[in-house]
């Protein structure tokens, strides 16, 4: 396993760009398996999660290969309908393969999904939706697998999510594309990555439209065709780089992100006094002077994204005053705080009083633990110092890199493989802006 050695206190200056969106590329691979024709997906990020998804496709007996930033999928046949626990445990999106297997083979055996350990992240809302469409599903706690089958394919259904779910919405859109009759999905997630998945499916011949707020209607078709699709830029990566520019007191320009839906993030950046200039070919983020404290609540789109709260937390350690972050999407997403505290951050976790927790939080209240904290109080401005820290999940990894950039001295960041799941050569892009980050083998 690799580690980073990061020299702090260097201003980042220059131009850079972001990779294709991870949360689009991975779902596009699943969509490509709905047809037996060739699907080409361009501008994919070269990350380990993508490699794992390609390995799963090949393990199932279909064909997928990558050349530079382009993946070609030919899912002519599936020789297996069971996904191995080892590979599925690495990436949560693997559970979405249940749909191609169900609609094309009539059965699927899927492990409980993996990915970042940032909460229970249950797929119960997805399972309920597939049952409404006629799938027979059982779960064996003895082996951790869902056993699914259909007698004669999936049927259209009118299904309302009890709480919004990004992956659940996408999974049922895939299911509805080849189901018999009309599917109406209500209280769906509204993330822009979902729009990209819909765009791909329409290019493949699906009939999908948004009819009103948080409602999607799908007329099932009998077959989907091959196509070529280009993945758009990653807004999570854009936010990470933007914060790197501000926290290092630098001045960076990120090319090609001017059309990304970053309104809630940009609004907060301007509120704290950071420099933001939206141009016709990208966005400039620059340090104008001392930034101020803020209060945020994470929420599904168009709100402040949960993936942004950890990088935002480290930025707030450098703000003047006390900041509050209230996490509403996942029940346990402050695991990185202990590592920031090692570097001198003054952060206290707490639970704000909430009148109607079930209505306020997007996670299942029954999955919560009394030991979980849902908010952080961050004291700024607090000097950060060097340290040896350990990455626990993808976004925490980016957060610790940001902290190391702002810290005095040389920091060591262990278990960089978590970061590699979602960022393509992040250290090389930061180094191109002036950072000094060395990747070494931990051994």
Q: Is 33 a catalytic residue?
A: no
Which of the following is catalytic: 12, 41, 71, 116?
A: 116
Per-residue H/E/C for the chain: CEEEEEECCCCCEEEEECCECHHHHHHHHHHHCCCCCEEEEECCCCCHHHHHHHHHHHHCCCEEEEECCEEEEECCCCCCCECCHHHHCCCHHHHHHHHHHHHHHCEEEEECCCCCCCCCCCCHHHHHHHHHCCCEEEEECCCCEEEEECCCCCECCEEECCCCCHHHHHHHHHHHHCCECEEEEECCCCCHHHHHHHHHHHHCCCEEEEEECCEEEEECCCCCCCEEEECCECHHHHHHHHHHHHHCCCEEEEECCCCCCCHHHHHHHHHCCCEEEEECCEEEEECCCCCECCEEEECCCCCECHHHHHHHHHHHCCCEEEEEEECCCCCCCCCCHHHHHHCCCEEEEECCCCCCHHHHCCCCHHHCCCCCCCEEEEEECCCCECCEEECCCHHHHHHHHHHHHHCECEEEEECCHHHHCCCCCHHHHHHHCCCEEEEEECC
Q: Catalytic site residues?
A: 116
């Amino acid at each position: 396993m690799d580690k980073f050695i990061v020299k702090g206190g260097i201003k980042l200056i220059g131009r850079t760009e972001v990779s294709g969106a991870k949360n689009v590329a991975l779902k596009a691979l699943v969509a490509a398996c709905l047809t037996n024709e060739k699907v080409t997906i361009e501008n994919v990020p070269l990350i380990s999660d993508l490699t794992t998804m390609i390995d799963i496709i090949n393990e199932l007996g279909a064909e997928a290969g990558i050349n530079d930033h382009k993946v070609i999928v030919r899912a002519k046949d599936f020789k297996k309908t069971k996904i191995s626990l080892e590979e599925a445990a690495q990436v949560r999106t693997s559970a979405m393969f249940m749909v191609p297997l169900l609609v094309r083979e009539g059965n699927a055996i899927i492990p409980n999904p993996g990915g970042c350990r940032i909460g229970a992240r249950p797929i119960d809302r997805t399972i309920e939706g597939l049952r409404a469409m006629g799938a027979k599903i059982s779960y064996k706690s003895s082996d951790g697998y869902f056993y699914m089958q259909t007698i004669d394919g999936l049927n259209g259904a009118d299904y309302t999510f009890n709480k919004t779910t990004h992956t659940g919405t996408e999974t049922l859109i895939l299911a509805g594309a080849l189901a018999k009759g009309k599917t109406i999905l209500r209280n769906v997630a509204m993330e822009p990555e979902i729009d990209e998945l819909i765009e791909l499916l329409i290019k493949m011949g699906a009939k999908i439209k948004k009819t009103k707020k948080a409602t999607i209607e799908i007329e099932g078709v009998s077959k989907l065709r091959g196509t070529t699709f280009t993945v758009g830029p990653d807004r999570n990566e854009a936010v990470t780089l933007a914060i790197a520019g501000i926290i290092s007191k630098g001045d960076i320009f990120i090319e090609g992100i001017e059309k990304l839906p970053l309104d809630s993030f940009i609004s907060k950046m301007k509120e704290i006094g950071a420099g933001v200039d939206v141009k016709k070919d990208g966005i400039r983020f620059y340090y104008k002077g001392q930034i101020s404290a803020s209060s945020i609540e994470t929420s599904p789109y168009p709100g402040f994204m949960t993936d942004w709260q950890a990088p935002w937390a480290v930025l707030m350690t450098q703000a003047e005053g006390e900041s509050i972050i209230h996490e509403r999407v996942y029940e346990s997403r402050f695991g990185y705080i202990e590592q920031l505290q090692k570097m001198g951050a003054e952060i206290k976790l707490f639970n704000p009083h909430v009148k109607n927790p079930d209505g306020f939080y997007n996670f299942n209240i029954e999955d919560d633990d009394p030991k979980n904290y849902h908010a952080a109080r961050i004291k700024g401005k607090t000097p950060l110092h060097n340290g040896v820290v350990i990455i626990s999940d993808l976004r925490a990894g980016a957060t610790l890199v940001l902290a190391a950039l702002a810290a005095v001295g040389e920091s060591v960041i262990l278990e960089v493989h978590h970061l590699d799941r979602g960022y393509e050569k992040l250290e090389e892009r930061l180094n191109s802006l002036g950072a000094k980050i060395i990747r070494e083998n931990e051994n």
